[in-house]
DNA sequence: TTCAGGCGTTCACGATCCTGAACATGATGC
DNA sequence: GCATCATGTTCAGGATCGTGAACGCCTGAA
């Protein structure tokens, strides 16, 4: 509860996948300021810290109320606000956690616009993947099998089997998917 | 939610009935610092603000999460932490609210040590007063009436009638009392 | 009245912050 | 290889903060 301001800021910034410079640009401060604060080489004024947090955005109360994870403890919970949206337009997804290099499992909260197609060339790669349709309708092709899935339906298969996804409905299709090892 | 740091600090300090100098002494800063912060003539560093709040004591998260009352709105709720203990030793009491000059009703959360006596000379003043015994035992004398009250018992009388309180038990006696107009 | 003490405010100056520009490193592509 | 880009870090200097000591005001006691 009384971790340093620097450690807190670094944590929230990295959870948002922002670089020091990008955060500095959004906040209207210099990247040096971010660096100095995060390394506890300076003791920021409340005003400047607030400006920095406005670039997240996050309030001061929320910032200081943040529970810092144990040193070396593995991150387990991911508030919705931290599932940053990566794509835009036809496909967008929100990844659960960052730093996929160290993990064996990747989980995405995806949204497919109507007509989206993962491609005529069927995908094939190592690992396994699966998912659950939350809303909308999705045509899933895996090997010789083809099915249209709706809310509550799910899939799970060996990724080496050629596969393809198409949103054949007329509304967005939301899916929670998982794959191992992380692709992308 | 985004009131100035100065307004917030002034509010919490006054709710604790602390002067700028007293808070400065507890916090290990100078009174000038408190004055400058409260008047928003400076933008304190997180570190110095934390030192100041340590003198309250209050955490940064709680400080920034404080809801500021509407301008001119009357204060209605008083968290237990704000009922500051005023006395020490034989009698101590926690007053509900401050600035009694403007109020018609005064409420105290009192604790009487064993043997405490409000005095042989019976009290008498304008107004009415009453209370409820929370724990312990208290001998209450009002005019010609005398009674030993225990937990759950209560009293209520015209303050002009001479009265006296004595803790005749062998443990602390806790009472919630009220009087109008505020005495003391 | 005068004095003492507490209150919040103001001021000059030494300490600290924040900036703008450089630096060092690593990843990516030609 | 080289160039290019993005990353985090370091540094000198102007801007700002925090201190210590004053100030004016008020209240209560002698």
For testing contact with chain B, the best of A5, A51, A54, A64 (most B CBs within 10 A):
A64
- Residue B75 inside a domain? The answer is no
Q: Are both B21 and B101 inside the same structural domain? A: no
What is the percentage of chain B residues whose pLDDT exceeds 90?
10
Interface check A65 vs B, CB under 8 A: yes
Residues A107 and A49 in one domain: no
Q: Which residues touch strand D (CB under 7 A)?
A: A 19-22, 31-32, 34-36, 38-39, 41, 45, 47; B 28-33, 36-37, 42-45, 47-48
Residue from A122, A136, A86 nearest A106 by CA? A86
Q: Does a structural domain hold residue A168?
A: yes
* B172 and B84 within one domain: yes
Residues A44 and A112 in one domain: no
Q: Are residues B167 and B88 in the same domain?
A: yes
Q: Is residue A70 part of a domain?
A: no
The pLDDT value given to residue B72: 44
Residue B13 token pair: 């300090």
Give the mean model confidence (pLDDT) for residues B27-54: 91
Same domain, B52 and B87: no
Nucleotides of C under 7 A from a protein CB: 6-11, 16-22
A147 within a domain of the structure (yes/no): yes
A40, pLDDT greater than 70: yes
> Is B37 found in the same domain as B89?
no
Interface with A, mutate which of B60, B63, B67 (most A CBs under 10 A): B60
Nearest to B44 among A45, A59, A60 (CB): A45
A45 contacts chain B (CB < 8 A): yes
Same structural domain for residues B89 and B176? yes
Q: Is residue B142 part of a domain?
A: yes
Q: Are residues B147 and B176 in the same domain?
A: yes
Domain count for chain B: 2
Residues with CB under 7 A from strand C: A 28-33, 36-37, 42-45, 47-48; B 19-22, 31-32, 34-36, 38-39, 41, 45, 47
Domain edge (last residue) among A34, A65, A96: A65
Of the candidates A133, A106, A116, the one whose C-alpha atom is nearest the C-alpha of residue A169 is A116
Let me know: does B147 contact B107? Beta carbons within 8 Å.
no
Residue A45 has its nearest CB partner, among B43, B59, B64, at B43
Same domain, B32 and B109: no
pLDDT given at position A74: 44
Instruction: Tell whether the model's pLDDT for residue A61 goes beyond 80.
Output: yes
Mark whether A162 and A87 lie in a shared domain.
yes
Q: What sign does the CA torsion over B7, B12, B13, B17 have?
A: positive
Question: B25: domain CATH number?
Answer: 1.10.260.40
Could B1 and A49 be called an inter-chain contact, meaning their C-beta atoms sit closer than 8 Å? no
Considering the domain architecture, whether residues A103 and A164 belong to the same structural domain is answered as yes
Q: What are phi and psi of B158, to 5 degrees?
A: -80, 125
Which chain A residues contact residue B5 at CB under 8 A? 46
What does the alpha-carbon distance between residue A177 and residue A154 come to, in Å, rounded to a whole number? 9
Give a yes or no: residue B73 inside a domain.
no
Any idea which nucleotide's C1' is nearest the CA of B18? C7
pLDDT tier for residue A75 given thresholds of 50, 70 and 90? very low
Q: How does DSSP classify residue A93? A: E
Q: Give the residue numbers spanning the domain of A19.
A: 5-65
Beta-sheet pairing, B145-149 with A173-180: unpaired
Query: From edge to edge, which strands make up the β-sheet containing B128-135?
Result: B91-95, B106-112, B173-180, B128-135, B154-158
In whole angstroms, C19 C1' to B45 CA is: 17
Report pLDDT digits (tens) over B133-146: 677 888 878 776 77
pLDDT for B33 beyond 80: yes
What is the pLDDT averaged over residues A16-44? 89
């Amino acid at each position: 509860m009384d971790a340093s301001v620097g450690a807190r800021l670094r944590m929230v910034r990295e959870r948002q996948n922002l670089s020091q410079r990008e955060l500095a640009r959004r906040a209207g401060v210099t990247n040096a300021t971010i660096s100095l604060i995060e390394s506890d080489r300076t003791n920021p004024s409340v005003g400047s810290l607030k400006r920095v947090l406005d670039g997240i955005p996050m309030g001061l109360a929320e910032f200081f109320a943040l529970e810092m994870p144990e040193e070396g403890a593995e991150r387990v919970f991911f508030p919705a606000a931290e599932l940053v949206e990566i794509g835009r337009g036809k496909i967008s997804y929100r990844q659960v956690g960052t730093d996929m290099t160290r993990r064996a499992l990747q989980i995405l909260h995806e949204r497919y616009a109507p007509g989206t197609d993962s491609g005529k060339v069927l995908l094939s790669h190592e690992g396994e993947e699966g998912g659950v349709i939350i809303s909308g309708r999705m045509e899933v092709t895996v090997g010789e099998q083809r099915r249209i899935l709706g809310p509550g339906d799910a899939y799970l298969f060996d990724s080496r089997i050629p596969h393809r996804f198409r949103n054949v409905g007329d509304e967005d299709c939301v899916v929670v998917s998982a794959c191992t090892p992380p692709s992308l």
